[in-house]
């Protein structure tokens, strides 16, 4: 298969397997999504969803969050890992949202990525899922599968994102990135993967 043929097959297969793509992180608005995505760094979505109800019961907006002591935030989010760094980022970004953005999450990459603890991947998820802006957030699942499916050379996530944006139509980026994540978790893990059984690898060939 050529790369375009592989891409077409992947789109069709993922569309069949995952016709709907619910956002894995529980949230109620752009702010709670932002905090949840920040917490998901090196942590599972399941664990984040177990932790955020307690946090958001105390503060589900930047005004209330900015009032919480950082140590209180750190204690709540400890199960997510990296709690010292994440708690400070959550507190600091909440204050910045109040001071610079009237308490609202900005709807552009420049301002989002200027917030503490918010990298390009986090900003991409918020832009895609909170504001409906076409983006292609690349996490470890997508980075791994793009290489496995011979869609990118896998040197870094920036290159992978650029390659995937060239291959797939912009109109499906927001849905497709979730479909690939779901597929990676269910059928195409990093370890214990069988290319003969995998619904995609068994059909397109793989590295």
Positions marked active-site: 121, 139
**Which conformational region is residue 81 in: left (phi greater than 0), alpha (psi within -120 to 50 degrees), or beta?**
left
Contacts of 28 (CB under 8 A, 6+ apart): 56, 60
In 105-163, DSSP assigns E strands to none
* Residue 155: other Cβ atoms inside 10 A: 11
Structure tokens at 176: 């497709």
Is residue 177 within 8 A of residue 128, CB to CB? The reply is yes
Please tell me the total number of residues recorded for the chain in this structure.
207
Per-residue exposure over 3-20, b if at least 16 CB sit within 10 Å of its own CB, e if not: eeebbeebbebbeeebee
Alpha carbon of 41 to those of 28, 51, 86, 124: distances in Å?
20, 14, 9, 14
Structure tokens at 51: 């932790």
């Amino acid at each position: 298969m050529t790369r375009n043929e592989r891409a077409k097959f992947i789109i069709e297969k993922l569309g069949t397997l995952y016709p709907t793509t619910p956002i894995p992180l529980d949230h109620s608005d752009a702010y709670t999504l932002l905090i949840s995505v920040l917490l998901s760094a090196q942590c599972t979505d399941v664990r984040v969803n177990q932790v955020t109800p307690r946090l958001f019961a105390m503060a589900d907006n930047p005004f209330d969050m900015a009032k919480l002591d950082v140590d209180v935030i750190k204690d709540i989010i400890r199960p997510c890992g990296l709690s010292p760094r994440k708690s400070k980022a959550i507190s600091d970004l909440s204050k910045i949202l109040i001071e610079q953005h009237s308490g609202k999450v900005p709807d552009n990459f420049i301002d989002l990525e200027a917030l503490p603890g918010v990298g390009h991947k986090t900003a991409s998820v918020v832009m895609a899922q909170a504001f409906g802006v076409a983006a292609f957030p690349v996490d470890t699942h997508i980075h791994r599968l793009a290489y496995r499916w011979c869609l990118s050379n896998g040197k870094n996530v920036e290159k992978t994102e650029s390659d995937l944006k060239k291959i797939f139509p912009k109109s499906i980026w927001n849905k497709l990135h979730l479909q690939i994540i779901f597929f990676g978790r269910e059928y195409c893990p990093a370890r214990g993967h069988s290319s003969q059984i995998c619904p995609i690898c068994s059909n397109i060939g793989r590295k």
